[in-house]
A and B are shown apart, each in its own frame.
Chain A
């Protein structure tokens, strides 16, 4: 147990297990750099933290730069360790995007994990650039009108050696990707879809089921881009054929945040997903 029980995460929140699974692979010689997010709170307080590896908290926009500095210092001491940024979607794709892009462009030797719960959860469910189309948040009470910002693709365009998506429901696929990333030198990016019971409005028992449905419906494809080469992984490998994918509605209907979507809007989203897979078919 690398991330210890009895932390402040909400019941059903996958973050503690996601960090635990990460650390099971990267091991004791890992530094976690955590910008403002739910994880800042999950990490406890000055009286104790659940992490069994060093944790460096960061201002909201600064984590990739702090990680770059830590890595430089460890290198100068000839200390070999994995420096990991563990950031939410807001810290990654909105306020921290410049810092992320800077670190990716410099090909810093760090691993970056974005756990994407598709909104600013720590501050009470406000929309982020990564909130998907149609989703309710407290700042999009009628549902978000814009599409989700494609961060993994944006990072991949920097030409970094490794980019992957992952899901806690496919934990071995996730850990295999972390393992691969650990062995690679340079900037490595893993984007983890991270269902949030209060923010997505579902019962806390459904976290894994929903994470799984995201993959099964094709709305969250699992893939990796290694040295520019795209490859579907795990269940997603079998989903190119549309008939193998469950309707997106099955994923949406379990979550209160999509309850205001009209059937038109659901259709629109389904079409976008299908188009995305057609694109994937072309590259794969």
Chain B
């Protein structure tokens, strides 16, 4: 049933996510300031101080403690939220793995940002992708609306009994966090009905548990196997949650998003905000008679292997745009796409661009697609 009473507001990304968090009604928050996430923390603090959000905001002294605090609260049954970026995400890395390994429902927003040294406060995806092996579901938004929507979905996915995994919602620093867009907001009661009350708690005095105990090699690998299985199960749950969301909002989501892929010969693969630019580039190519299409990865973990392989398999050439590099190997997303496409006879090129906030425009993408169609694209190209 679609919601009738739509509220449309102009919001910057950080405030849209803060609004979604307020509607999800977490009981405990702990956030440490870092650009470009800080204005989200400030907005959340306002909500808490004004009583609009009845939650405890733990004003921690570091990101390590921010995630530690929400981890503790999550174990004891609270719905929780934290947010960070860049150095902050790296600083909480130890706890990121800890929370993933224990499989505790937590939602964290990451306002993606380049990593020092040298200093940069501008966008790229190195922070986000560096957490790909930490047993977290990782979603990435394309625009402010999606950041709002995915945040609400994240709570439901994370707490689903078939999943029980922390969820990271990535959205591009400044490009989305600080850009004002029109956002369609759900009424509070609709969000209430969409996210069922949390039913996860490991601290019970009548049944005391040891949480995070030493595991023997046999037990350790078993728990990791279970984690992998739960990641696999989450594909179905994510799809289901997004279908339910579509029923309410009419907005279609999924592990991937395809734009003009059906008859596409040349595919551009991307993740995050510049997927919007990629759409423009695809249109331009079409106007020129080049059958281009966009494959947007929305779920980085679990990686939509089958979906990607299927789209890649129907094409003649693929170029993956990466805002992050595994140095000494290649573009991070490109490597994922190549691995998913194993066995296919389709050339997969990698373009590294936008690092440290370097501007990338539809025109740049168009040029790359032209070269791809002309068979003039190198295996790896850096847009310097």
| A contact residues vs B (CB 8 Å cutoff) | 28-29, 31, 33, 40-41, 43-47, 49, 51-59, 61-77, 81, 98-99, 101-102, 105-106
- Chain B CB within 10 Å, residue with most, of A41, A57, A66, A106: A66
CB distance from B68 to the nearest CB of A (A): 4
Please tell me if the beta carbons of A54 and B204 are within 8 angstroms of each other in the complex: yes
Please tell me if the beta carbons of B219 and A45 are within 8 angstroms of each other in the complex: yes
Contacts of A74 in B (CB 8 A): 76, 203
Contacts of A57 in B (CB 8 A): 210-213
Contacts of B94 in A (CB 8 A): 59, 61-62
> Is B274's CB within 8 Å of the partner chain A?
no
Contacts of A31 in B (CB 8 A): 76, 203
CB distance from A158 to the nearest CB of B (A): 12
CB distance from A2 to the nearest CB of B (A): 10
> Is B193's CB within 8 Å of the partner chain A?
no
Contact of A65 among B72, B210, B223 (CB under 8 A): B72
- Once bound together, how far apart are the Cα atoms of A102 and B72, in whole Å? 16
Please tell me if the beta carbons of B214 and A65 are within 8 angstroms of each other in the complex: no
Contacts of A81 in B (CB 8 A): 205
- Once bound together, how far apart are the Cα atoms of A77 and B204, in whole Å? 12
Contact of B214 among A45, A58, A69, A72 (CB under 8 A): A45
Please tell me if the beta carbons of B205 and A101 are within 8 angstroms of each other in the complex: no
**With A56-B203, A77-B77 given, can you name 6 additional A-B contacts, CB distance below 8 Å?**
A45-B215, A51-B208, A56-B75, A98-B62, A99-B65, A105-B61
- Once bound together, how far apart are the Cα atoms of A76 and B78, in whole Å? 8
CB distance from B336 to the nearest CB of A (A): 28
CB distance from A137 to the nearest CB of B (A): 24
- Once bound together, how far apart are the Cα atoms of A64 and B71, in whole Å? 12
Please tell me if the beta carbons of B64 and A106 are within 8 angstroms of each other in the complex: no
Please tell me if the beta carbons of B77 and A45 are within 8 angstroms of each other in the complex: no
Q: A41-B214, A46-B219 are in contact. Are A53 and B208 (CB under 8 A)?
A: yes
Contact of B62 among A71, A75, A102 (CB under 8 A): A102
Please tell me if the beta carbons of B210 and A73 are within 8 angstroms of each other in the complex: no
> Is B69's CB within 8 Å of the partner chain A?
yes
- Once bound together, how far apart are the Cα atoms of A99 and B76, in whole Å? 20
- Once bound together, how far apart are the Cα atoms of A59 and B59, in whole Å? 19
Please tell me if the beta carbons of A49 and B60 are within 8 angstroms of each other in the complex: no
Could you list 14 A-B pairs, sorted by A, with CB under 8 Å?
Answer: A51-B210, A54-B205, A54-B208, A57-B212, A65-B30, A68-B72, A69-B58, A69-B68, A69-B69, A72-B78, A73-B73, A73-B77, A98-B61, A99-B68
> Is B194's CB within 8 Å of the partner chain A?
no
Contacts of A75 in B (CB 8 A): 56
Contact of B28 among A40, A59, A64, A73 (CB under 8 A): A73
> Is B7's CB within 8 Å of the partner chain A?
no
Please tell me if the beta carbons of A40 and B214 are within 8 angstroms of each other in the complex: yes
| B contact residues vs A (CB 8 Å cutoff) | 27-28, 30, 55-56, 58-62, 64-66, 68-78, 80, 94-95, 98, 202-205, 208-216, 219, 223
- Once bound together, how far apart are the Cα atoms of A47 and B209, in whole Å? 11
> Which residue from chain B places its CB closest to the CB of A48 in the assembled complex?
B210
Contacts of B71 in A (CB 8 A): 62, 66, 69
- Once bound together, how far apart are the Cα atoms of A52 and B208, in whole Å? 7
CB distance from B103 to the nearest CB of A (A): 13
Please tell me if the beta carbons of A68 and B212 are within 8 angstroms of each other in the complex: no
> Which residue from chain B places its CB closest to the CB of A27 in the assembled complex?
B205
- Number of A-B contacts defined by CB within 8 Å: 161
- Once bound together, how far apart are the Cα atoms of A63 and B70, in whole Å? 12
CB distance from A32 to the nearest CB of B (A): 9
- Once bound together, how far apart are the Cα atoms of A69 and B66, in whole Å? 9
Contact of B216 among A28, A33, A45, A70 (CB under 8 A): A45
Contacts of B213 in A (CB 8 A): 43-46, 49, 55, 57
Please tell me if the beta carbons of A70 and B61 are within 8 angstroms of each other in the complex: no
Please tell me if the beta carbons of A69 and B30 are within 8 angstroms of each other in the complex: yes
Q: A59-B68, A70-B75, A73-B77 are in contact. Are A65 and B60 (CB under 8 A)?
A: yes
Please tell me if the beta carbons of A102 and B60 are within 8 angstroms of each other in the complex: yes
Contacts of B73 in A (CB 8 A): 69-70, 72-73
Contact of A70 among B55, B72, B209 (CB under 8 A): B72
- Chain A CB within 10 Å, residue with most, of B28, B75, B208, B210: B210
> Which residue from chain A places its CB closest to the CB of B78 in the assembled complex?
A73
CB distance from B61 to the nearest CB of A (A): 3
Please tell me if the beta carbons of A62 and B70 are within 8 angstroms of each other in the complex: no
CB distance from A260 to the nearest CB of B (A): 35
Contact of B211 among A56, A77, A102 (CB under 8 A): A56
- Once bound together, how far apart are the Cα atoms of A46 and B102, in whole Å? 12
Contacts of A56 in B (CB 8 A): 72, 75, 203, 211-212
Contact of B70 among A61, A69, A71, A106 (CB under 8 A): A69
CB distance from A53 to the nearest CB of B (A): 5
Please tell me if the beta carbons of B62 and A54 are within 8 angstroms of each other in the complex: no
Please tell me if the beta carbons of A72 and B28 are within 8 angstroms of each other in the complex: yes
- Chain B CB within 10 Å, residue with most, of A29, A56, A71: A56
- Once bound together, how far apart are the Cα atoms of A46 and B223, in whole Å? 10
- Once bound together, how far apart are the Cα atoms of A44 and B204, in whole Å? 19
Contacts of A99 in B (CB 8 A): 61-62, 64-65, 68
Please tell me if the beta carbons of B76 and A59 are within 8 angstroms of each other in the complex: no
- Once bound together, how far apart are the Cα atoms of A31 and B66, in whole Å? 20
- Once bound together, how far apart are the Cα atoms of A51 and B213, in whole Å? 12
CB distance from B30 to the nearest CB of A (A): 7
Contact of B98 among A46, A49, A59, A72 (CB under 8 A): A59
- Once bound together, how far apart are the Cα atoms of A272 and B72, in whole Å? 41
Contacts of A53 in B (CB 8 A): 205, 208
Contacts of A47 in B (CB 8 A): 216, 219
Please tell me if the beta carbons of B64 and A58 are within 8 angstroms of each other in the complex: no
Please tell me if the beta carbons of B78 and A66 are within 8 angstroms of each other in the complex: no
CB distance from A214 to the nearest CB of B (A): 31
CB distance from A274 to the nearest CB of B (A): 37
- Once bound together, how far apart are the Cα atoms of A98 and B95, in whole Å? 15
> Which residue from chain A places its CB closest to the CB of B215 in the assembled complex?
A46
Contacts of A58 in B (CB 8 A): 68, 98, 212
Q: What 8 pairs between A and B have smallest CB-CB spacing?
A: A69-B72, A57-B212, A102-B61, A73-B76, A65-B65, A65-B68, A69-B73, A66-B72
